[in-house]
Structures are given as structure tokens and as C-alpha cells.
Amino acid sequence: MWASFAAQVLCCSSSVSVTWSRGVRLGVTMAKSKFEYVRSFEVDDSCLPHCWVVVRLDGRNFHRFAEKHHFTKPNDKRALHLMTKCAQTVMEELEDIVIAYGQSDEYSFVFRRKSNWFKRRASKFMTLVASQFASSYVFYWRDYFEDQPLLYPPGFDGRVVVYPSNQTLKDYLSWRQADCHINNLYNTVFWALVQQSGLTPAQAQERLKGTLAADKNEILFTEFHINYNNEPQMYKKGTVLIWQKVDEVVIKEMKLPTEEEAQETTVTRTRNRPMPLYCDIMGDAFWKEHPEILEEES
Amino acid sequence: MWASFAAQVLCCSSSVSVTWSRGVRLGVTMAKSKFEYVRSFEVDDSCLPHCWVVVRLDGRNFHRFAEKHHFTKPNDKRALHLMTKCAQTVMEELEDIVIAYGQSDEYSFVFRRKSNWFKRRASKFMTLVASQFASSYVFYWRDYFEDQPLLYPPGFDGRVVVYPSNQTLKDYLSWRQADCHINNLYNTVFWALVQQSGLTPAQAQERLKGTLAADKNEILFTEFHINYNNEPQMYKKGTVLIWQKVDEVVIKEMKLPTEEEAQETTVTRTRNRPMPLYCDIMGDAFWKEHPEILEEES
Amino acid sequence: MWASFAAQVLCCSSSVSVTWSRGVRLGVTMAKSKFEYVRSFEVDDSCLPHCWVVVRLDGRNFHRFAEKHHFTKPNDKRALHLMTKCAQTVMEELEDIVIAYGQSDEYSFVFRRKSNWFKRRASKFMTLVASQFASSYVFYWRDYFEDQPLLYPPGFDGRVVVYPSNQTLKDYLSWRQADCHINNLYNTVFWALVQQSGLTPAQAQERLKGTLAADKNEILFTEFHINYNNEPQMYKKGTVLIWQKVDEVVIKEMKLPTEEEAQETTVTRTRNRPMPLYCDIMGDAFWKEHPEILEEES
Amino acid sequence: MWASFAAQVLCCSSSVSVTWSRGVRLGVTMAKSKFEYVRSFEVDDSCLPHCWVVVRLDGRNFHRFAEKHHFTKPNDKRALHLMTKCAQTVMEELEDIVIAYGQSDEYSFVFRRKSNWFKRRASKFMTLVASQFASSYVFYWRDYFEDQPLLYPPGFDGRVVVYPSNQTLKDYLSWRQADCHINNLYNTVFWALVQQSGLTPAQAQERLKGTLAADKNEILFTEFHINYNNEPQMYKKGTVLIWQKVDEVVIKEMKLPTEEEAQETTVTRTRNRPMPLYCDIMGDAFWKEHPEILEEES
């Protein structure tokens, strides 16, 4: 309700009335209180306390979206950076997100164990993440796709999953990163076959059927002189967002009493920002380096 | 996953491996299958069959948003039309929505009783509505606010409520419309007092304390010569969106064999579109006029 | 809590204390208030309002139970009557059950649409039905199995299902009655083949493989001179329990002032009791005859 | 279904038919398959994996039950032992319960973290516990109340609560034990005042209003020469049931080849049984002594 200071209005308009059951006519305010029973149909969907709450978003029909907007294959750097910009906005605008992980057209957000944001209601978590991400996607589009106008507003579906322990949460994130690796290796070979060897998608698919990871590495190396290990980390590992202290330079305009002209000064402030990393999160090293992510002050 | 034809990749990369429990090192594909147990933590949140599913969205912090973007008070026509444009996009892009109702910064969407879209999963319903609405809000902003740039991407929270009968659904919509009426009457007087009589918001609030609807009508009429009944229907009733057949004129370019120049022809096509009405939905008349909304073909 | 008038006890015992985190020692009462956060892990499981709530019970391992207690095949009249006695007890002791239906080792209980018993919490509904049924089963066992001692206490599993309309509720009950019919026809032929023709269970099963209902009727008639239509209704239809007014004769002992001996008088009182019917509930006739079952006073 | 080898019966009886919508008459088997859609209204209520699942039972109206059956106050030893016998039966008959805790008319059962019994469905857990407990209560009544016939079958309500960590589970059990202590201290003084000092319940209640634990200990000691510390542990601490190895002596009848008469021999077997302890579970000592309760073999 954006234009209202209204609170409880205690009675009814003479000019508007509603016919209630058995022909009784009521003023609107009384009618409203009669209708209000419908609120009891709402369900309490709060997440189990003391558990990690994960919201995962997926682009809706992004295969088509990528084609319409001429995304480069197998990876479009602009699209990936835009996704990360949206995820950073989500982390800045919403509360209690301690880590996020993204790859391809999906992003996962982890709320801290003891978050009590919106009383842990799952519907609030997932719709606020989904809507903030989606509006940011359109808002920041131009910063990443200068020459490519956005043709239509995209949708994202979301879900909430609850993890009771650090181990299950880490395994969830590892699952997504393993998925990223497997898809990226496949896509890298697939599009090399299509773009450089001139195979049709069907032929490329056929060629890769049954191949192991070692086989794909081999094809990349012998046929395309690509060492997969040298591919960009962001493609191979996806993007991890965690809060880090960064020094930000702020320009300040000052007017000194004795001078006529305003002076600009720069001030450096340390702020907490969600910063991207492109590193392994399946092993223990990452978690040992960043113990604060899983630690919860009591 | 937007860039992939990948399906099942059957084995693991030699170059990447994960240390599983007790120091066992695994290839990524095997690791992924070990991690996949985390999917079992997802919960089935499908809505009770044969019930109306309602998704209601609310703007997040729209009080602040309205101020920052200089919305006119008590109603901003541009903002209301933009909300409706977004709701229409949601109805066109998503499936099985039979009616929508909006007022102020909220919109409710009703999915048909027997919808089996995404297996009736509540999380899909609410996140797809929320994200499609939010991305449309930014996408169409300029069409409604030409001179007012959008300063930041807004968020919307959503929820799902399930209604088992036609009566409870109609009561839900009536509840929202009664809410619209009560707030709008209040806001109309409130802002007249502030804008025309020069009261402060606090004074206006004080003045209206304890007044009945009749009192407010009286104040409007005697002090401001406003007959509330003549206020725009969209403000008093909110916006109802239902599917209606409309004739659309399509311009077609044709090249006739004997002519050198292309000719433009117009073709009229009948299409189903979500069209706005600003009418009473609390009484029976609306539902008798539009029986198809609640009827379900078996 | 059966032995207590205790309410709020405001402080702690000097003789008992608990070591809380970081070595802080607390009295028990303060400790209890610290532990009480664990209540927040309870989930609201109230059933959707305005819907029929069905609790269905099934005997646990009743195949084994029937063998150990020498139930007659294909139907044991004593066992079925005992089940019904337990269901009647459930209806009398619990609240808001309008109809129950039983067959074999299962019973379904339907709570009225607008019941607000225990705030419609599903867990209360199903555990109170299950426990009352189970304790009654042991309590009344002797009344039905005079010569057969109960060897061990049986278990019953239960579930709650919610139906939003009269039609879905009637279809639920019809589903159970159709199940009764199909099983009973099968079992009647099966046990005739085993008991009268001397087939082994495996042979009887083989013989019936792929047979239609008409075939089974034919076997019963030609081989065993059984007209299935003449089988007892309770076996073919199961048992329906609905509330009916019955006249009950109550013996009253009275002492008149002028007489030394007490006199017995009988008084007839009309009471509402859950009474068994063995009739079809799949067709409309039953529901037309008993409209009060589905009607809900507003 | 206790009397059936029936599986899929593929067609319909000629003698029974059902009128489906629009007057179509169907055989029962076909009708059943039409009705079967009602199963889709059942909800998946499986408990979050890797969490402790607690079922807590409470006697229904046990205040009245205790009075009708002349339970001694403040504690009835027979009633408490019967409760424990029922809890032991539940642990023996059901699966995956690692610890139980009881006091007064309540009992809590903890299923192991990784239990997959009945796919972790909450409704199965709570109804099987409730029904097994209730039938056992009647079944074993005579063993504990020789001279007091059971007047009617009691009910128990149950609930399921899920705890994600060892700490929250231990805090749950501590909460119940703190509750036991507080109630028992109160009841001990209360009934001393009533039974020994001749106060009415209302007077006793008034006397205890606002007293601290130390005050109650003082009253007990000075007025009734009772040292609360010497009260039975079972009353003060409640009953903890854990699995313990016990040697059981089994009498075996043997026939030796050279002898005509059978000989009885006793054999000692070690078995796992749920054994009662009356100890503190709020501190760490208990959990250090019994690490196997919370440990989960992977």
C-alpha cells in the first residue's frame, strides 16, 4: 500500500454496500470484516529453525532466450556477468544471505542458519529473491549488452530447500559445482565440433555419446589444441559470491569557507560487499579459508 | 541451462577430482552422483487438487519507492496502469490464470481449479508470477513514466493461498476490493486535507480519526466539492483482468506478382486477451455476467 | 499431566541445576525457559478450512494378526463387528465425525467441513483416532472373541486426507467401497477354491489370473452353488456408520419414601448413536436419503 | 487387507455397477479406477532427511482418567510403570527408535537421524506410535493394576517434531526433564499440604503461589520432614529408555537320544532390550557415557 496512512477505519460507507448472504446489505467496512475469514486459508510455511535455507533460481525457457539474444556459445561472458550483478543486488537488498553460487542460468542463495528474516517464511524468501533478481536483470541489461536490446522481460522459477547441517549444505553447493563442470566440459567440446569442425548439432551429439571426461579432454587437445585446464575459471567453476571487505573511494564535494570554489575530496571507506570468486568449493580448502561463512555467532 | 545439449555424461574427468569422505578421491561425475542425495531434501509443495490457487504479490517498500519516483497522491494513474500492464504480461506468459485483481501496489492472480501447470507446485506458481511481474515492471516502466527515470529495480513479495470453493474464492476477491474501497476513500480525503487545506499529514490523520465513511463523504463534499461517487472507477474499484475476445488489426505486407511495390494490407484477427474492467466484483452481478470464469470444463 | 494443579512456577530449585553453555549454571526453572525455544520447531499442520477431513486407519501386519488369531476366511464376522465397535467408540469419544466407512482391516472417518476441533490440526485428528481405535480394539476384544485370547496388542497406521468438495468426498468413499467389492469377490472365489476344492493358495491364484468379475461369479455359481448376490451385505458393501436417533431403554433405580425396597423403573430416551448400515454409497440414492450428512449448518 | 491374495483384477462385475457422471453406467472395477484420482489429494509429509524425528504422546483427559481409576497422588507407581511398559513395547515393535523419555502421562520417542522407516512419513510415525502405545496400555493394564479394573479405553494424542542437530535434540529432552522436575516438586508439596495438613486443593494452591523452589524444599523439610533429594529418582527425573545388552535366560526343552524323557535346559542369550534409567539427561555426563545414542553409523 504505497499511498496510505490509513489504519483502522471503523465504519462503513453509506454510498457503497454489499449484499451478504440471505439478502442482508452491509456497508463495505463491515463487509470487509466478514470477508476477512479468508485469511485463515493462508498456510504457515516457515522453514525449520537452525537450518540453512537455500533459494535456487533458474531461468525460464533460457534456451530460447539465449538464442533470441544471440548469446555466444558455449559461454556468454556478458550473460554470466549480468547474472552475477543481479545476484549481488539480491545479496545487497535482501538480508542474511551468506553465500551465493551461480552457473549458466541458475543461481543459489544461502540464508544464514539462524536468520529470522520474515519469520523464515519460505514464500517470502523465494519470491523476494526471484523478483529482485528478475527486475535487476532488466535494469542492468544495458550495462552488459550494449548493442543487443532486450526483446522481452524474462522469468525465473525458484524453490526453497532446507539443509540441517554444514555437511549437507556443502554437499548441495558441491552438487551444483559438479554440475557446472560436467556441463561446461561437454559444451566446450560440443561447440568446438559445431563451430570449428562444421558438424551439425546432431552429429556433434552423436560423436560425444558415451565419451568419458578423458575422451573429451583428448578431443579438445588433439583436434582443437585446447587445453581444458586453461579455460577460464568462471566457466569451469562457476561464480561464488561471498562478503568481503573492500575499500571504496567516495568522491565528496566540500565547500571551504575561505574559498569560492567547491573542492572535491576523495574519502576511502571500507565496506562489506558480495565479491565474486571463481574457485573450487567441493574440497575442504575453501571452507577452511573462509570459516566465517558457516560459523554462526550465538 | 541455456547453452547445452548435454544429457547424461557417463564418466568422470581425469583432470578434476574431489576428495570424498575418508580421503577417497573421485572423478567429478562420480562425485556428482554422490552429492545428488541432497535433492531428497526438496519438499513436495503441490497445491491441493480441485482448488483455486491464488498468488498475491505486494510491492516491497513501495511507500519509499512511490516517494522516490514522485508518484502523485492519492493515486498515480501511471503507476496503476504499469501494474496492470505487468499483470497482463503475467497472464499472457504464464498458464491457466483465469482472473486477476489489482489495487494500489498489489495484484492477485487466480489459477483455474484444475490447473496442472508445473504439477501445481506452489513454489513454481509464486516465483514465476513474482519474477515475470518484476521484470515486466522495469521493462515497461518507460512506457508509463516517460519523464521519470527508474532509479532502482523494485522487489515484490508473493504468497500462495488455496481456496476450496467458488464462494471462498469470491470472498477472497471481495475482501481485496473492500480493502481497495476503504483505503481509497480514506486516502482521497486525507490528501485533499493535506494538498488543498494545507494540513500536515499528522493533522489530517488526527482529523480523520474515528470518522465513518459517511463523515468522509461529507467532508469531501462540503469542504472540497468532491462527490466521491464521481471519482474514477479504477481508483474506487481497482482493476479486474479477465480474458476477452478482442479484434486485433494486424498490418501485413504483401507483394503482388504484377506490381513492383509492396502493398500493405490490414487483417483483423480475433484473439483472447486479458482486458481490464473497473467494476464491482463483490456482488453477484459480475459473476452472473461472466459465468465462464468459475466454470471448469470437465 | 494427570497429577498436577501446577501452573507457572516462577523460579528455580536450589537443589537442582543445569550447566548451560559456557559453563553457566542455572536453576531448573530458568533452564527450562532456556530450553523452551525447541517448541518453535513444531510445525502448524492445520487442515485447509472448509474442507472435509478424512482419517483412514489400516491394521498393521493384519495378515499375520489374522492368522495368529485364526480368523475365518474370507471374512471373519467377529473381527468385522469388533472393528465396527471400535469405530463407534471413536465416533462417540471424538468430535465432529459425521460418517465412517469400514471394510476388512481399514476404517475411514470423515470430520465435518467446518470442524474446528483442535484447530483442525492433522496430527491431533489422526493420533486421537488411531489411539482410541487401538485401545478399544483390545478393550472390546473379549466381547467378540470369547474363546480366542488376544495374543498381542495390534497397531494401526493412519493418515489424513483433505477433500475440498462434496463430490471428491463421495468419490473417496466410493473408491473404498469399490475396493471392498473387488477384494471380496476375489476372496470369496479364492477361498472356495482352497477350502472346498482343495487347491493350494498358489493354484487358486493361478486359476483366477486374468478372470473378469463375470467369470468369478460364474465359477462361484457353477462350482460352488454360490450366488454372489446372496452373500451378506456386510461382506459385499462394508459398513457405513452414520448418526441416527435411537430409543434407548435406561433402567433407573428409585427409592420411594414410603417403601423400604428400591424399585426399578425403565425410562426410554432418544439418543444420537453411530449406527451401522450395509448399503451402497456409490450411487446417489444414499446421499439423497441422508442429506444431513453433507449439509453444514452455517 | 488381511484376507486377500488379490492383486490386479482387470475387469468388472456384471452384477454391480455404478452410475458415473452423465449417466454412464460402469462396472465396479472400472468405477474404482475412475475414483482412484482421489489418491492424488494425499500429501507427502515425509520428515526432512538427516534430522532427528521425535514423536511425543500425551494422555487425553488423563486428569479425569487418573481420578476414575484412583491413581495415588502425587505419583502412581503402577501408572508410571505401565506407561514405561507401553513405551518398551513401542520400541520393540516399531523400528529405529534410539531413545525414549517419559514422565507423568507423556512419552517422547526419538527415531534415528537417518531412519528411512516408511520413507520418514510423519503420519506413519505418529499413528503407529500412538496406536501401539494405546493398545499396549489396555493389554498390559492388568499386570500393573491387579485390583483396579480398566473402566474405558483411553486415548493419546501425538505429534511429530523434527530436530536438525544433536544440540537441539538434547535441548528438547532437557526441556521435558526440566518440566518433570518442576511439576514433581510442585506436586509433592501440594499433595503433602492436602493429604497431611488437610488443606483443600484451593488452599494448597494459594499457599504455593509465588514460592520458589527453595521455598518448596523448605516447606517439605520443615513441615513434613521430607528431604526432596531423597524422593525416588523415577519421580524426580522421569524414565529414560535406551537399548542395552541384557542376558536373558531361555528355558529349552531337549530330547536326548538315549533318554526317554525330555530334559529341560536353560540357555543364556544376550539380547538388546529397551531398559529404563532414572538419571539426569540435561547435563553432558549422560551423553558422554552413551555416545552410541547420537552416533550414526554412516
Mean pLDDT of D103-129: 98
If we measure between CA atoms, which residue out of C118, C123, C103, C9 comes closest to residue C55?
Answer: C123
Q: Return the residue of A nearest to D47 by Cα.
A: A48
Amino acid at C243: W
Q: Are D41 and B21 within 8 A, CB to CB? A: no
Query: Does C61 count as an annotated binding residue?
Result: yes
Cross-chain CB nearest to B213 (options A11, A153, A186)? A11
The reply to whether A168 touches chain D by the CB within 8 Å rule is yes
Task: Sort strands C263-277 and C239-254 into parallel, antiparallel or unpaired.
Answer: antiparallel
**Known binding positions of A for Mg(2+):** 58-59, 105
Closest to B35 (Cβ–Cβ): which among A127, A171, A201?
A171
pLDDT band, very low/low/confident/very high, at B274 (cuts 50, 70, 90):
very high
* Whole-number Å distance between alpha carbons of B74 and B237: 14
Quickly tell me which residue has 574427468 as its cell. B13
Per-residue pLDDT of chain C (298 residues; tens, 9 = 90+): 444 444 333 333 434 566 655 556 678 888 899 999 999 999 999 999 999 999 999 999 999 999 999 999 999 999 999 999 999 999 999 999 999 999 999 999 999 999 999 999 999 999 999 999 999 999 999 999 999 999 999 999 999 999 999 999 999 999 999 999 999 999 999 999 999 999 999 999 999 999 999 999 999 999 999 999 999 999 999 999 999 999 998 877 666 666 566 667 788 999 999 999 999 999 999 999 999 999 875 4
> In the complex, which subunits touch B with 3 or more CB pairs below 8 angstroms?
A, C, D
Residue B298 has pLDDT above 50, yes or no: no
Interval D256-265: pLDDT, tens? 666 566 667 7
Answer yes or no: are the C-beta atoms of A1 and A10 closer than 8 Å. no
What is the tens place of the pLDDT at every residue in C214-229?
Answer: 999 999 999 999 999 9
Best probe of the D interface among C123, C190, C194, C236, by most D CBs < 10 A, is C123
Closest-approach residue (CA) in chain D for B51: D41
Chains that touch C (3 or more CB pairs under 8 A): A, B, D
CA distances from A183 to A149, A156, A236, B201 (A): 28, 20, 9, 58
The ipTM (two decimal places) reads 0.90
| Residues of chain A scoring pLDDT < 70 | 1-25, 253-263, 297-298
* Residue D104 marked as a ligand binder: yes
Per cent of chain D over pLDDT 70 is 87
Residue B4 predicted with pLDDT over 50: no
What pLDDT, in 10s, does the model give residues C191-208? 999 999 999 999 999 999
| Alpha-carbon distance D48 to nearest alpha carbon in chain A (angstroms) | 8
Give chain C as a DSSP string. Answer: --S-------S--SS-EEE-GGG-EEEHHHHHHHHGGGGGG----BPPTTSEEEEEEEETTHHHHHHHTT--SS--HHHHHHHHHHHHHHHHHSS-EEEEEEETTEEEEEE-TT--GGGGBHHHHHHHHHHHHHHHHHHHHHHH-SSS---S---EEEEEEEE-SHHHHHHHHHHHHHHHHHHHHHHHHHHHHHHTS---HHHHHHHHTT--HHHHHHHHHHHH---GGGS-HHHHH-EEEEEEEEEEEEEEEE--TT-SS-EEEEEEEEEEEEEEE----SSSHHHHH-GGGT----
- Taking CB atoms and an 8 Å cutoff, what residues of chain A touch C41? 48-50
Residues in chain A: 298
| C37-91 tens-digit pLDDT | 999 999 999 999 999 999 999 999 999 999 999 999 999 999 999 999 999 999 9
Identify the CA nearest to A79 among candidates A90, A63, A94, A98: A63
Give the three cell numbers for residue D27: 462396472
Cell of A203: 552429429
Residue C139 annotated as lining a ligand binding site: no
Min Cα distance A179 → chain B (Å) is 7
Please answer yes or no on whether C43 and A43 come within 8 Å at the CB atom: no
Q: How many residues does chain D have?
A: 298
Closest partner residue to B50 among C49, C50, C164, by Cβ? C164
Q: Does residue D89 sit at the C interface (CB-CB below 8 Å)? A: yes
Q: Which residue has the cell 529349552?
A: D252
pLDDT of D166-205, one tens digit each? 999 999 999 999 999 999 999 999 999 999 999 999 999 9
* A160 and chain D in contact, CB less than 8 A: no
- Would you say residue B16 has pLDDT above 60? no
Residues 6 or more apart whose CB falls under 8 angstroms from that of D279 comprise D233, D237, D240, D286
H/E run at residue D93: helix D77-93
What's the pLDDT at B165?
97
Binding-face residues of C in 34-53 toward A, CB within 8 A: 37, 40-41, 43-44, 48-50
C-beta atoms of A44 and C48 within 8 A: no
DSSP state of B48: P
pLDDT (0 to 100) of residue A267: 87
Q: Which amino acid is at C280?
A: D
D193 secondary structure, DSSP code? H
Cell of B188: 482521497
Cis bond upstream, residue C257 (ω within 30): no
Pick the residue of B48, B54, B165, B171 with the most C CBs within 10 A to test the interface with C by mutation.
B48
What is the pLDDT at residue A266?
84
Q: Residues of A numbered 68-87 whose beta carbons fall under 8 angstroms of chain B's beta carbons: which are they? A: 71, 73-76, 79
Residue type, D142: R
In this complex, the chains that touch D, judged by 3 or more CB pairs closer than 8 A, are A, B, C
pLDDT at residue number A291: 96
Q: Which residues of C touch A37 (CB under 8 A)?
A: 49
Is B26 near chain C, with CB under 8 Å? no
pLDDT of amino acid B259: 59
Query: Torsion over CA of B84, B88, B90 and B96, rounded to 10 degrees?
Result: 130
Whole-number percent of chain B with pLDDT over 70:
87
Cα B181 to chain centroid, rounded: 19
Gyration radius from chain C CA atoms: 26
pTM of the full structure: 0.91
